[in-house]
Amino acid sequence: MSPAATLVEALEPIRSDPAHAAVLLDIDGTLAPIVRHAADAHVPEATRSLLIEISKRYRIVGCVSGRRAVTARQIVAIGTIAYVGNHGGELLRPRATAPEVDPELSAWTARVKDFAQRVYTSRLQKIRVRSEDKDAIAAFHWRGAPDEEAAAAGVREIAEMAEREGFAVHWGRKVLEVRPPVDLDKGLGITALLRGSPVSAAMYAGDDTTDLDAFRGLRRLVQAGELESAVCVAVSSDEAPPELAHEADLTVDGTGAVRGLLEALL
């Protein structure tokens, strides 16, 4: 059996009834290649074209990101699909002009911004740690810094300060996120997106630790009887956490292979 045939077979629970299926995808490292500067990320046109065709066939198509929902939409550049942003804290529905934001998350926005401003010192800027304002979440990146080890050490100091001040911290692929101490993950965001829909099967593909929450969220929906089936896809890379492939139903090799995944859905 060819790899393509194997992929089609694995996706059969999704492909068999598109009118009652959801296709959910992470963006960075899944649809868009990882780049040195987060602001430079983009979805290749070949991938975007496939996603447009999928959006015409499947009941729900959504991108699930650690970025703000409006930023995620700008990167993918498709307005007719849904976006779950800030790791589940925002939901931007198809064609909507503004996201629905968790009010508990919003209540922490000013405190997060104040903290980020205080800790992002000239020393960190000098060693090329980059800050990213995600409204209620502050991110600190060190990918591509001249001395990544020194930059990572500086970011670890931020994490220690954040924990002392009662914030939650989360580590990603060469990025630290300082978050409010509230329940916040991609699985919860997906649950909000699918709530009340006629979807009975869903697929999720992702490449990082936060995507484990999405896997687990879908499986909770299956256990609760709210979905009949779920397919969890790990997108492999040198930086992917080992547990991602362990918890996945299917593994594909990098963003290029994600295009093959999308083709199989068509």
Share of the chain above pLDDT 90, in %: 80
The span from the CA of 226 to the CA of 246, in Å, is 24
pTM here is 0.84
CATH 3.30.70 applies to domain 104-179: yes
Instruction: Spell out, as residue ranges, where the chain has pLDDT lower than 70.
Output: 1-5
Boundaries of every domain in the chain: 3-102+184-265, 104-179
Q: Is 126 exposed, middle or buried (0-12, 13-18, 19+ CB in 10 A)?
A: exposed
Q: Is the dihedral of CA 38, 190, 245, 254 positive or negative?
A: negative
Bridge partner list, 231: 203
Query: Cα 85 to chain center, whole Å?
Result: 8
* CATH architecture assignment, domain 3-102+184-265: 3-Layer(aba) Sandwich (3.40)
**pLDDT averaged over every residue in the chain:** 93
Residue 5's pLDDT is 53
Q: Is the dihedral of CA 124, 74, 41, 26 positive or negative?
A: positive
Residue 40's pLDDT is 81
Residue 189's pLDDT is 94
pLDDT (tens digit, 9 = 90+) per residue, 171-214?
A: 988 999 999 998 889 999 999 999 999 999 999 999 999 999 99
Residue 2's pLDDT is 42
Residues 6+ apart with CB under 8 A from 262: 47, 50, 51, 54
